[in-house]
Amino acid sequence: MKPELNHKLKTIRHDYSINQLSEDIVEKDPLKQFDSWLHEAFEKGDEMANAFILSTVNEFSIPSSRVVLLRDLSHGGFTFFTNYSSHKGQDMKKNKTVSILFFWKELQRQVRVEGLVQFLSETESSIYFQSRPRESQLAALASKQSKIISSRNVLENEFLKLCDLYKDKNIPKPSHWGGYVLVPSKIEFWQGRESRLHDRIQYTFENNLWKITRLAP
């Protein structure tokens, strides 16, 4: 590592003083609280406010993380779409417990969610698939996501072949592609504060009710 970069990593500091968060002002329902924060993040100009880090664990207890896009708050949780045969899809097939993390830099906020994933119905997945740009639909067919390929040309040639095959035709949703909903059991809202005395408000689902507690930073 370059010495100047090493020095920067050790000395860079940020002051957190934009907002605060208390048990008195949060919604009783964490999904309503999340909806409010997400709306505020978009209003602040974050065009990728719906991007989150999805962490899964495979059958060997090896964790893996990647960025995914939130597409809805429905069915009591967080909805997203992907290839069922992908690395994350295979992980979730074997271990349905996952974690997701949203980070909104400009608002100095994080939201951390833990829970179980469930499949969305084929109908809902098909409706969303047909709403996607045509290029994205073709890419879902062309890419054997997470599989090793010999070169980019293989991918591009398959994409072009599918472009010709479905020219002026509807593109069917592939059977290996669809939606999930993460139904949360725990949600933490993190607000940066001065002197690293951050606000951490945690919701835990117990006895069919959301319990609200404060965590030490």
Catalytic residues: 196
Residue 208 backbone phi and psi in degrees, to 5: 65, 20
Query: Residues of 112-136 as b/e, b for ≥16 C-beta within 10 angstroms?
Result: bbbbebeebeeebbbebbeeeeeee
**What is the dihedral angle through the alpha carbons of 88, 52, 184, 126, rounded to the nearest 10 degrees?**
-60
Give every CB contact of residue 210 below 8 A, 6+ residues apart in sequence: 28, 29, 30, 203, 204
- Other beta carbons less than 10 A from residue 204's beta carbon: 16
